[in-house]
Every structure is written in structure tokens, then in C-alpha cells.
Chains A and B, each alone.
Chain A
């Protein structure tokens, strides 16, 4: 677009956004007496004023020099543009169409935006940009984008560089509003942001040495066998995991770290060592290294960092329940399970402490909830809220970052149609949903609200220390709740046994995590909803008070 066209397209809105309304009005008022002689020649404009001031403008309106003493945008610039428009000095080219062409704006690449705004800002803005379009976009001679969440209005000139855009925030640099406005426009024009805006989903150039190191070391371990494992095997694998992290190879890092854990357990003759798992992980590492070395490093191969938290747009959350746990590595924690109907996924918030320092799971469950909420985790697990500034990891974990602010909306309402997607009364459909998720992400747990039609008597296998409670759906299909005894599950098993007698009359709804064990659909229970919420592994039956009852 030529300078003449840019000048003709610069309407009152654009010039006001560039300066301010007062200066614009003053420029209009004083234009007649200013004696401006404006002349456009190619990509530049020269304006001479009666008082001797000279202004020159090159390529864009913002790229100007003025002989007046003003250090900020001056009235001469506005007058020069207005004079050029009025005298027709800018009309030597064909006039711009009534609605200008902004296709170049929709074709802007992620790299260009990163160059202007920085990678971090672009990543944050992209994470917040998803359909539907929330901005009000008006295309005329100038493209105006109004962002309701910030109240900022950004204007773009057709064909002009992005740096020529103006924003009501008056920032000199390429501000977050301009960035978000561009993304909103791309979203409106294309329906979605192009793939280059999601670099974590695109294969990156991978330095070949990390996969080569991994392949060589795994070959060494497999060659020598379990009986001749190198003494420093676990340490070397951990070092390789760190190298993989540095090289942004998340799947390889995860497998190497897991195999290192097994090697460490083997070295100290721990009963938790599992030979099959180590062999599987080493095999998977080797195949992964081979695939990456062969240049087949797509997103599925390389993976994403599951612990990396990315900002998300404001979203609603419904607390479904909670679980207390103790890990083999010496940590205790409480995980609150929540469902976001907007995002269509289950998300988890976890608080963790070293078991030696933990006050006990039941007390941890009463600790304060994050995001500025003045409630405990026990209430968070059965509340509805709206979270702004939240951050979510690839594995569906919610960050407790201080930027997150939540607004409590009320107690969880299980009959809410927004939860229908995760309520199952048909166990065959449940199995299909579990399998579909497993195909997409084998490492994530699958949570569901289970609505059984009937229950049979539970039983505790004293030899294997496993409690089993068979449940049936309306068509008589069987699913078993199973809980293996451990200090962290003692209360859960006790509560399930207490629950058995109630289930004969009414089965209620269970929040469970599902898995398949030896060809059987199996569930681990977290919460029971009968005549109130009961976090089975974290609350004694007395928690079934009126205050906990469903509305």
C-alpha cells in the first residue's frame, strides 16, 4: 500500500487513536490558519507550515520528523495528514476501496508476532485465544478491533506494517492489546490459529546427540543384562534425562527418569522394583531414540512437557471430589478433581508434602484452597467457581500460581447438564470412552461420574489385601471397585464397607478413576454422592452433615 493510500485511509478514529481527541480537534480547528502546503512524492510526504515548521513523513504515518520542539506526537503531523487529504495531495493513486483489504493481517506468521512482541507474550496470548471470537471487529478504511476484556481498541491500516497500528492504551511498543487484536482477527478470518502458533505441537530441530547417547547407553544395559547393570546406571540415566529436558525431548526425559527410578530400586533391592517395567521402559527408550534419530520427530514422538504450565483463558470449574495419596518416593498429597465444561476436560489441583512433614491426609484436605479463595480444599472439592489467570499443564494439572484468581459461584450441582459428558450409567459406553482417552494419552488417568443401577456385597481379600465392591449398570453389566490396602487407603476401605448397606436401597453416584485390569473394567473410587458429598478416602462419615448436602 502506498503512502497516499495510507493517508487516505487514516480516518478520524485512526488519528484520534494515534494522538488523542483534544489534539485531533485542535489540529482540525487550526488547519485553515496553519497555511499548510503538503506534497506527497512516492513514499514520502513533505508539509511546510506558515510558521516555518517542516514535517516529513516516510512510508507510514508514524514514521515522521518534525522541526517543532515537541517531543511527543505533535499537531503538525495530524495537520499534515488532514491537509494532504483535503488538498488531494494524496490522491494521485487510485482511491482505496470502501472496505480495505486486510488479508495481509490474517496471513501474519507466528514468527513475525514473536519478533514484535516476544515469544513469551505470544505464547501467553495464543493460549488465551480460542474460538469463538470475543473481540468486536469492524473493517472499513481502517480495521478496528475492540477487546471487551481489556476495553482497549486497536486500529490497523490496510497494508501498513504492524508497527503502524494504534492502540487506545497509547503504548509506544507493540502492546499486548495489539497482539491480542491480531490474534482475534486471524481467528475471525480463519476460524482457528494456524499450526505455527503452536510450536510445542510442531516438530523442532532436535540435536541428534541426545538420542544417540540414550540409544548407546540403553544398548549397553540390554547387552549386559540385569545381572551386570553398571553401578552408576541410575545416575547416568538421570543425567541423560536432564540432557533430554535441555534438548526439549519430553517423552524421552520421562522414560529415562522412570527407568532411572527402577534401576535405583533394583540397586537397593527394593521390593518395589519391577523387572517388566524396566524392560518395557528401556525398550521404549530405544525405539524412541531410533525414531528421533531417523528424523521422525513429530509431536507424538517428541511429546510435550506435562509439567509445563501454560496460561488459559478464564474458565468455569466444578469440583467433583478429592483423593489422598502417599507415593513410594516418600510424598503425601491431596488431589482435588474438577471438571471444566468450557474446556471439556477434567483438571486436577494437587498439594504435596514430604510424608515425614505432612500433618496427615485428613488435615491436608482442610488446608486453604489456592487462587485467593477463603475456603479449604475440602470445600473446593464440592464447589463451582470461575478461574481467571489460571495455568494448566499438559497433564491437566492446575497451577496454584498467584496470578490465578477464582470467584466462588456456589456448591457443585451434580444434576447440572454441563456435567452430562462425564456421567455414565452404561458401563459399555464407559469402557469405550476410557479406551478412546487411552489411545490419545496413555499416561493420564480417566475420571468419570459413575451411576450404577445396583451393587453386590463387597469383599475383602485378606491374602492379597484388596477390597472389591461389584457394581452393575441397568443392563446388568459388571464393573468392580477395587482398593488395595495401604496406610493411605485404610479410611477409604472402611468407608466403602460402611457404605455397602446403603447401596442396597440407592446406589448414588461415584467419582471414580477407571482402568482395565486383566481384562476387567475396574474403578478406584474417590467420592460418593448419595444424600451428600462424601470424600471416601479423606472424610469420616460425620462429614455427611446438612451443610454438605447437595442443593
Chain B
């Protein structure tokens, strides 16, 4: 996957999490489908760890529909792991992209 497409995927993931943060995990059930789709996209891009993180977040949010005593604690940790994954990926992507640019003498 080329860097531009990868960056787009990661920033899309970030935007999805930003939206979820804005409305709050307690009302996050509207985002479950979108998070599932993101997980599928990560899988297609070969980013297994990202796919797992997003799938777990979707799963944790879905718990609210079936568990009357659901709290945001588990989903909050999943949310934090997704953000951390994105942060690390974007930092490394920055470096790889910069290194590639320097190699190519643009």
C-alpha cells in the first residue's frame, strides 16, 4: 500500500475516533458500524493490529446493547489503544515517508 493511501486510512481512523470522542462512548452505539468498517479496511491494508484494536472497540461499545450494567471503562481502554496505535503508526509513517523522499532526491 502506498504511503498516501496508508496515511488516508490512518487519518480516516483518527477522524472516526474524534467523532466518537465528541459524542462520548456512552452514546457510541451509532459508531459501531463505522468502526467495524474501519476494522475491515485495516484488515485489507494488512494492518492486523489496527484491525483488532478497532474490532475490539466496536465490540466493547456493542456491549451496551446487551448488558444493563455496561460501563464505559472497557470501551475507554479500547479507545485509548486505538488512538495509541494511530499515533505510533502516523509517527512511523512520517519517518518512512521522509526517508523515502530523501532516497528519491525529489
List of B residues within 8 angstroms of A438 by Cβ: 91, 95
Q: Which residues of B contact A226 (CB under 8 A)?
A: 21-24
CB distance from A275 to the nearest CB of B (A): 6
Most buried by B among A218, A227, A519, A520: A519
- Give which listed residue, B24, B71, B87, contacts A225 with CB less than 8 A: B24
Residue contact B105 to A224, C-beta cutoff 8 Å: no
B95 CB to closest chain A CB (Å) equals: 5
Chain A hits for B99, CB < 8 A: 428, 431
**How distant is the Cα of A77 from the Cα of B79 in the complex, in angstroms?**
74
B86 and chain A: residue at smallest CB distance: A280
Q: Which residues of A contact B14 (CB under 8 A)?
A: 276
Q: Within A264-299, which residues are at the interface with B (CB < 8 Å)?
A: 275-276, 278-280, 282-284, 286-287, 290
How far does the alpha carbon of A98 sit from the alpha carbon of B80 in the complex, in Å? 65
Between A and B, 27 residue pairs with Cβ closer than 8 Å are A219-B71, A223-B24, A223-B71, A225-B20, A225-B22, A225-B27, A226-B22, A226-B23, A226-B24, A227-B23, A276-B18, A279-B17, A279-B21, A283-B80, A284-B83, A286-B76, A431-B95, A431-B102, A438-B91, A478-B102, A478-B106, A519-B3, A519-B93, A519-B97, A519-B101, A521-B101, A521-B102
Judge whether A26 is part of the interface by a CB distance below 8 angstroms: no
Q: How far is the CA of A219 from the CA of B3 in the complex (A)?
A: 34
Q: A223-B26, A428-B99, A520-B98 are in contact. List 6 more A-B contacts (CB 8 A).
A: A219-B76, A224-B26, A225-B26, A284-B80, A286-B76, A519-B101
Taking a contact as CB atoms under 8 Å apart, the answer to whether A223 and B25 are in contact is yes
Q: For residue B100, which residue of chain A has the nearest CB?
A: A519
A-B pairs with lowest CB-CB distance, top 9: A225-B24, A519-B97, A223-B72, A283-B80, A283-B83, A286-B80, A516-B94, A219-B76, A476-B105
| Contact B94–A283 (Cβ < 8 Å) | no
What class of interface size applies to chain B in its complex with A? 35 or more
The DSSP consensus for interface residues of chain A is helix
Q: How large is the interface on A (under 10, 10 to 19, 20 to 34, 35 or more residues)?
A: 35 or more
A290 is contacted by which of B23, B77, B83 (Cβ under 8 Å)?
B77
The residues of B with any CB-CB pair to A shorter than 8 Å are 3, 7, 14, 17-18, 20-27, 71-73, 75-77, 79-84, 87, 91, 93-99, 101-103, 105-106
Any B CB within 8 A of the CB of A228: yes
CB neighbours of B71 from chain A (8 A): 219, 223
The interface residues of chain A lying within 8 Å CB-to-CB of B93 are 519
Task: Report how far A471 CA is from B13 CA in the complex, Å.
Answer: 34
Say yes or no: B83 contacts A280, CB within 8 Å.
yes
**Residues of A contacting B83 with CB < 8 Å?**
279-280, 283-284
Report if A424 contacts B (CB, 8 A): no
B75 neighbours in A (Cβ, 8 Å): 222-223
Determine the residue in chain B with the shortest Cβ distance to A475.
B105
Nearest CB in chain B: distance from A469 CB, A: 16
